Chains A and B, each alone.
Chain A
């Protein structure tokens, strides 16, 4: 094992899953060679539209689904090895706990199933139920719990074996804002304790707040992965807002930027800097200032444009650097570059 591999909680190579066609269903190629790396001690976010294969990937890691093909390791052991699961915690997306058990019994039962000794699981159950804010309801039957309370107990059971890696599939699903904040804080606490947290969630803003690294899965492939900074740096841009009080702002702005803009074939105003970064001019929005968007994070490259706009005696209302959000990244990943339309949800059919 290389040192790099030892530092990784998850090192996935070429994970592939095809569901064979049946009598009444068509075959589905859910995962198409996933390569993914999750470092130890980081909070990793897995994003993707419905049917992208996120839950399938997690289920493969947890041996709930067998892969068609998979290489790589989880906590240094080959994928699919049952004994590794003693060091992993898991909260499934639509989990269903036996409703005849109390919260405490749920945590203790799944602790026992993970091989935790009686004394340890009793002690940990009490600590974890307190950690997830369920100490008061620990001895109430699960059938009386709200969705949020079930999620909290679910997180407690995922941590009962003191795992090195925790996989949480939609942990904030159905949870109110207070609960979501609590769950974010729990993830942060787990990270502080040196645990690796692997999150699958639709709530991009939350992932953005807590994830060190993310991967975007689209139609069974990793569209992009890395730290949020690394993914957004080359997508950063400057937005220049020009006052549009004067009715001649259109002509004046075209004239000021003429050396950078392409011939106006279809009424669109776009062009590029000598270094290749794109320029996009929006003049057609009523009651809104004219907007010049320059696809660069380098302030120096924007200066010639500003000089030209000023020289044309136009008023600059604002110049601001824009860093794309995770949502922008996500939408970019799920948009078909050819048609510009959002890709249909679901995995691709056929092999």
Chain B
């Protein structure tokens, strides 16, 4: 009986989605996206779009292999943009009505009067929504796998990890949609509030990432200031030694030699004064940086705690990138990019005397460090806590659904 009922609900969910046409629209759009990805290529001169070539200095096969290029396109555009945003919104629109329709007056009486446990009825309906979203992702992933294989000559089986990851990502949001649909019994209310919740997750994630970046930047500066403070005494000693040398009058010293020595002494004294001033400034900087880091650490801890409780949608999607690409794979490309950024940054940071001064702009080193920290976060933390959140929401849903009088 269980199989008969489950099968009937699956067929019914398919008929419902089919009647809305949204399933086929989403599938057609997915096909278009894959086709667009397939039209773009890379050669030794730059990017190719169908039979045209766009010459680019950095994006060519000297810096990036075709496989890495296609993986990047798939991850950044196909995965992080299409699947994580557009396809998810389409899937939410398609499936948001499943629970409100289930609990609608006149419909729920028919469902509950059948020999099926309420919790199983609810969870099966929930699963059908995920199943059809999974089907969409699976079709897109298979097509992308073929494009990367045929165009990039890299048969990347890890790409199929996208299916469970997107499904998990979608389920973290959809469980909230299901709860809201159950409570409000309104598709529009459930959809709008879910989008609001998603925006909240986005805000928390972006804030945490930004605060972490600033914290790492503060760490970098503290490191730099401490290095300076460590080096300056030695420079002062050396400078003092040189001043002492320049102060001592040598026997038989000519006027010209004396003038040069005194000039050197004056220069060295100015340098010493500069070093002593710098020492004071750097110590002051260090105190400020430490205070900033303390504040940032406090805020980061708060945001991290909030993030731990809620689903980590961005990190979940980031797992595929972590699995598919290593930081070394893009080393040549990133080095070239970093050099340009560093050059530009230094050019902007130099004052009129040509002396390097500190700017607030994080260096590419910090950005890379941020990437490393994010990649070091364990899969258990990313998925485990998010799944716990989903289980909690589903438990609340089941509890409401099992107890409510309809």
Contacts and interface: CB of A to CB of B under 8 A. Distances in A.
A109 B106 contact: no
A97 B101 CA distance: 10
A304 interface: no
Contacts of A100: 15-16, 18-19
Contact of A82 (B12, B106, B107, B117): B117
Interface string B1-37: 1001101110110011011000000000000000000
A258 B345 CA distance: 121
A64 B113 contact: yes
B105 A19 contact: no
A136 B112 CA distance: 30
A112 B8 contact: yes
A63 B405 CA distance: 9
A159 interface: no
B110 A92 contact: yes
Q: How large is the interface on B (under 10, 10 to 19, 20 to 34, 35 or more residues)?
A: 20 to 34
B115 A115 contact: yes
A98 B16 contact: yes
B5 A82 contact: no
A92 B109 contact: yes
A116 B107 CA distance: 20
A127 B403 CA distance: 37
Given A83-B115, A85-B114, A100-B16, A62 B4 contact: no
Interface in A42-65: 59, 62-65
Interface residues of A, number: 33
B111 interface: yes
B400 interface: no
Given A85-B113, A98-B12, A100-B16, A115 B406 contact: no
Given A62-B109, A64-B112, A101 B15 contact: yes
A19 B114 contact: no
B114 A113 contact: yes
Contacts of B114: 85, 110, 113-114
Interface of B: 1, 4-5, 7-9, 11-12, 15-16, 18-19, 101, 104-117, 403, 405-406
Interface of A: 19, 59, 62-66, 82-86, 88, 90, 92, 94-98, 100-101, 105, 109-110, 112-118, 157
* 3 A-B pairs closest in CB distance: A96-B106, A112-B8, A100-B19
Given A85-B113, A86-B1, A100-B16, 9 more contacts: A94-B105, A95-B109, A98-B15, A100-B18, A109-B8, A109-B11, A115-B5, A115-B115, A118-B4
